[in-house]
Amino acid sequence: MDKAADLFKRIAHSASLKAALIGATGYFLLAAATIRLTSDGRNHATVWPADAMILALLLASPRQRWPAIILAGWAGNFVANGATRGWMAGLLLYGAINMAQTVMAAVLLQRSDSGNELLANTRSSLHFLLSAGILAPALGALLGSLASLANYGEPLGPSFLRWYASNALGLLIVTPFLKSLLDGGYLRCYTERNWLERAEALGLHATHIALTAAVFSQNTMPLLFLPICSLLLLSFRLGRLGTQAGVIIIALIGGISAFRGLGPITLMHQAPEFDAFFFQIYLAILLCTALPVAATVSANTEALTKLAEREEALHLIMSNSPDGIISLDRGGICRWADGRIEDYLGVEPADLLGKPLGEIAGRTGVRFPILPGPADGQEQTTAEFTPKLRPDITLEASAGIVEHEGVRLGTIVTLRDVSARKAREVAISKMAETDDLTGALNRKGFRQRFDEAVKDVTRPVSLALIDVDHFKSINDTFGHAIGDAVLQEVVARIKANTRSTDIVGRLGGDEFAIVFDGDISIAKAACERLTDSFRLTPVFEQRNIHLNASISCGVAELHPSMSRGQFFDAADLALYNAKHQGRGCVRAAA
């Protein structure tokens, strides 16, 4: 454990040392170059980008590395100012003020969760503008101008404005660029593009550099609007990374040109201080114009990327899902389809695109549920159906309404194979309606089928009631096991002498019933064949037992004037007559 802790400390120490070296070196180079190129050594630079190096490092580093980075920045500030402006003790105070405003900006950005992506969206851009462009440089300008007033007697107002404008522009312009450079954003942007996109990016940057250089290398025409055009083109095509680089190009070329007395700004023929102030306003306008565009482009790009990722994930999920999905717009036109559409409906998903609901239903047999009204919310309804092209399966369609702020946008229909569930439901229903001894319908199942049969008055229906003669004596003499076997044989012979369209049921004990799809002559003929089979063949044979039995049948035909009860009573009366006229016979109702 101690060795692991020591190794971790060494790694952390080396990372802090690396960050400190980058901070000190970067701060010195940026500060020295800025002073040499845009200042005479006494006045403020038009843009002060050096603090942006420290801010970018702080945002890219954990808190434990901050002290080393801040000290490195302080040292770089002192050395750069001393080497270019002359050594004096006051430089340490000004360096401390620079570091204080930089730390304040870093803390504010981290607390607002905007430190990772400075210009990723409008929210993060506003937080960055408030933290690094207003609050932090205002604090630094206040402290710096007070120090200049105390040390050198410089007026508070002008000193505050020069410090504020220079540092605010430096932080706003350079920080996003350096942070993207340090965290590999630019490298990823380059490597993730194909050769054509890389060529486009390089061409846009080269065009922007050439145009900006051409504008600021002359002082005969007021062409300050041209760099804005190429900057916006960079923003729209390359997003925030292009915007960051584009603004820095304008600041660098324009700042050097302004210091040398070149560029359209000199056409106003004002004092150098006014030209510098005007250039700062120009850069501020560039930022206010380009940053919202970059934020919007970045947000849209991120949204499109996430949408593409979600579409790909949805397609992957649906390709491995047991469901099929059909999306309809509010006019009932198919927008997209995915999943097991071909397996379920027998058509390719692409064949449904652009087709109206009615055409899809007519071609595939899909049954769409009745959807609730807009006031009913996000309720779902379902419907079961058998597809035309896949009659061997049963599908369930579930429909859900897609709404936004109370406005119906469309419908999502999910298809699922419920064949196994349907088969189980049928089996359970059949078990609930089947007599477990004989396999015929039980009393409940028969009553349900009987009620359905008598509803159709367009075709003849007949009813036969059957009793096994002297069944009680069979049970008493041979036992219930043989009695049960006799009942099973009775049902077997009934089914052998009836059709699949006829309904056979056991009403209880030795009482059976048959609903015939036909008139009384059909019913009577079938019952006579049935009674003959009992006279000719024993109902039970095993070892030395040869058991004969007979049945009595009463049949009746349904007439339009009959109720269900009267129909049943007529067949029951015919059975009563058969029993009292010798049994083993068939009697028909008058």
Residue 513, domain CATH:
3.30.70.270
Q: What is the largest CA-CA distance in the chain?
A: 140
* Last-in-domain residue among 269, 301, 319: 319
Structural domain includes residue 428 = no
* Last-in-domain residue among 374, 399, 421: 421
Identify the weakest region by mean pLDDT among 314-323, 360-369, 495-504: 314-323
Q: Which stretch, 74-88, 162-176, 278-292, 483-497, has highest mean pLDDT?
A: 483-497
Structural domain includes residue 57 = yes
Answer for the pair 370, 413: CB distance below 8 angstroms, yes or no: no
Is 173 in the same domain as 191?
no
- Dihedral sign computed on CA atoms, order 465, 468, 471, 475: negative
Alpha helices in 112-182 (DSSP H): 122-130, 136-152, 156-182
| Element spanning 399, H or E | strand 395-404
Per DSSP, the residues of 342-369 read HHHHSS-GGGGTT-BHHHHHHHH---PP
- Show the tokens assigned to 171: 């932080």
Name all contacts of 210-215 with Cβ < 8 Å and 24+ positions apart.
212/249, 212/250, 212/253, 212/254, 213/253, 215/263, 215/264
For residues 368 and 477, what is the distance between their CA atoms, to the nearest angstrom? 62
The pLDDT of residue 423 is: 78
* pTM for the full predicted model: 0.51
Is 53 in the same domain as 69?
yes
Structural domain includes residue 125 = yes
For residues 464 and 525, what is the distance between their CA atoms, to the nearest angstrom? 11
Mean residue pLDDT across the chain: 83
Residue 432 CB neighbour total at 10 angstroms:
10
Structural domain includes residue 400 = yes
Beta strands in 218-355 (DSSP E): 323-329, 334-339
* Last-in-domain residue among 253, 287, 319: 319
- CA 218: distance to chain centroid? 55
Q: Could you read off the pLDDT of 297-311 as tens digits, one per residue? A: 777 777 777 777 777
Structural domain includes residue 557 = yes
Q: Which band of pLDDT confidence, cut at 50, 70 and 90, is reported for residue 273?
A: low
For residues 280 and 273, what is the distance between their CA atoms, to the nearest angstrom? 11
Is 179 in the same domain as 197?
no
* For residues 208-224, average pLDDT: 89
Is 351 in the same domain as 384?
yes
Is 407 in the same domain as 494?
no
Structural domain includes residue 470 = yes
Q: What is the CATH number of the domain that holds 377?
A: 3.30.450.20
- Show the tokens assigned to 166: 């220079």
The pLDDT of residue 151 is: 72
Is 487 in the same domain as 351?
no
Is 198 in the same domain as 159?
no
Q: Which band of pLDDT confidence, cut at 50, 70 and 90, is reported for residue 551?
A: very high
Is 472 in the same domain as 581?
yes
Is 229 in the same domain as 337?
no
Nearest of 415, 334, 221, 214 to residue 230 by alpha carbon: 214
Nearest of 49, 21, 57 to residue 182 by alpha carbon: 57
Q: Is the pLDDT of residue 6 over 60?
A: no
Number of domains in the chain: 4
The pLDDT of residue 335 is: 86
Name all contacts of 330-333 with Cβ < 8 Å and 24+ positions apart.
330/408, 330/409, 330/410, 330/411, 331/356, 332/356, 332/357, 332/358, 332/411, 333/357
The pLDDT of residue 373 is: 47
Full residue range of the structural domain in which residue 349 is found: 321-421
Structural domain includes residue 429 = no
Is 444 in the same domain as 583?
yes
* For residues 352-377, average pLDDT: 72
Structural domain includes residue 72 = yes
Q: Is the pLDDT of residue 4 over 50?
A: no
Q: Which band of pLDDT confidence, cut at 50, 70 and 90, is reported for residue 493?
A: very high
Is 32 in the same domain as 45?
yes
Nearest of 101, 231, 79, 110 to residue 164 by alpha carbon: 101
Q: Which band of pLDDT confidence, cut at 50, 70 and 90, is reported for residue 459?
A: confident
Is 170 in the same domain as 193?
no
* For residues 495-508, average pLDDT: 92
Residues designated catalytic: 510
